[in-house]
Every structure is written in structure tokens, then in C-alpha cells.
Amino acid sequence: MERILYVGKTKVIYEGADDKTVTIGYKDTTTAFNGEKKQELIGKGKLNAAISNFIYKYLTENGIETHLIEEVDTSSITAKRAEIIQVEVIVRNVAAGCFSAKYGVPEGTELRNSTVEFCIKSDTLGDPMVNASQITAIGLATADELNEMSQMAVKINELLCELFTNVGIRLIDFKLEFGRYDGRIILCDEISPDSCRLWEIGTDRKLDKDRFRRDLGNVLGAYKEVLRRLENVK
Ligand code: C5P
């Protein structure tokens, strides 16, 4: 195996065949609450790799550039070696999680417009929310980069809402990470039930990491259900 560049909570990044690429391996480790809760869920890595690859191919077909180059095996990919922007972008369509807790809006409330939030990507700081002027002041990203990331996030939200609605799933919220590559901003990291809230339309059954966070059981069953539905999309 190639040299390890970085070990994250749920992925390992290896040096690629050249300096423009990396190999990313998805781990079975599942974490929540900034790593305080942690468990190995055997097979989760493969499920998230399959779901994220499916979504990234769909986004690519629809004009969003992502880091995905190709699948190496069932739990790893070759990706463009981007410089990760240390800002997480969270998009919400329905109130849940931190939004409900922070602003007192009951979980499940449809929002009148989608929201786009920025957080600093830092385990030490606990991913604090920041605004655009704070990000540019600190130097985490430029105003142009933030505009590009916001526009891409809005477009990705439209595309994902359409995709998930087609398979009977409501996209509640999700988190994105972007990187700089060849002077462009590209979508990095993953989009999977680890990074999205996905509720079954009609029942509101949770099909995402909240099953792990809240001890609802059958975490892998839910992830499998998401993949099964996506693979059967018309
Ligand atoms: O916790 P919060 O309500 O802010 O999460 C919003 C969305 O972003 C959820 O889908 C959650 O899974 C995702 N998220 C993430 N990684 C983080 C923070 C949030 O994937 N560090």
C-alpha cells in the first residue's frame, strides 16, 4: 500500500500514483459528537463508498466537479489531490439537529427557504459556526471562494433533493467539504448517510447517522436501504 498521508475519523488518505492524486479508503469506524461516541460497524465503509460514489457520479453528470476519479475497490477510490478548505458547508431544508436545538425550531419543521451555514472544520474547536466575514478575516477562504462554494452548495441541494425525492427519501440537511484544485473549487470528502439526514417520505423513518447518534438501532440496515433505493433509481 502507498504511504499514508492522513488518518481521519472515517477515512484514510494515501499517496496516489502521482502528486495530483490520492487514494481514499473508507473505514468502518462510525463516530459522533466530535469522536466521543465511536463504534466499528462492519461493512459501513463499503456502503458509504458505494452511496457517495453513486451521488458523485450523478453530480458530475449534472455539472458539479468532484474529487472522484475512479473506484479502486469496494471501499476505496482514487481522487484528485485537492487542498481541503477548512470550512464545512451545511445546507438545511428541514429543521433538525443543531438547528432545532440552537434556534428552538421543532425537528421536522419545513424551512421557508434552504439555509447555508459555514463551520470551521476543527475537532479541537468543536466545528464552531462562522460567518463569511469571519472566514475571510481569518483567511480560511476568500470571498470569491465562499461565493463559489455557496453557489455550488445550492445547486447540489437542488440536484440531491430531486434524486432523493425520486427514491422516496426526504433530504433534511447535509454537510459538504470543498477543496482547491488547479485553480478551481471542487467538491471533496463524501456525501453519505454519515453526512446527511435522510428521512423516509411518509413515515419519517430515519435512514442516516442519527440512528447511531440516538441509539435507534439497525444503522447498517438503514444505510443499505439508501443504497438499494439509489441503485434502483429510474
Ligand atoms: O449537527 P447538525 O445538525 O449541525 O448537522 C447538520 C448536518 O450536517 C447533518 O446531516 C450532519 O450529519 C452533518 N454534519 C456532518 N459533519 C459535521 C457536522 C454536521 O456530516 N461535522
Instruction: Convert the pLDDT of each residue in 3-61 to its tens digit.
Output: 999 999 999 999 999 999 999 999 999 999 999 999 999 999 999 999 999 999 999 99
pLDDT at 1 over 70: no
Residue of 34, 55, 90, 115 best suited for mutating to test ligand 1, as the one with most atoms within 8 Å of CB: 90
CB-ligand 1 contact for 90 (6 Å cutoff): yes
Is the pLDDT assigned to residue 203 strictly greater than 90? yes
pLDDT in tens, 123-176: 999 999 999 999 999 999 999 999 999 999 999 999 999 999 999 999 999 999
Q: Which of 87, 123, 195 to mutate to test the pocket of ligand 1 (most atoms within 8 A of CB)?
A: 195
Q: What is each CA distance from 105 to 25, 75, 79, 170, 204, in whole angstroms? A: 37, 37, 38, 18, 17
Stated pTM of the model: 0.98
Between CA 208 and CA 143 the distance in angstroms is 32
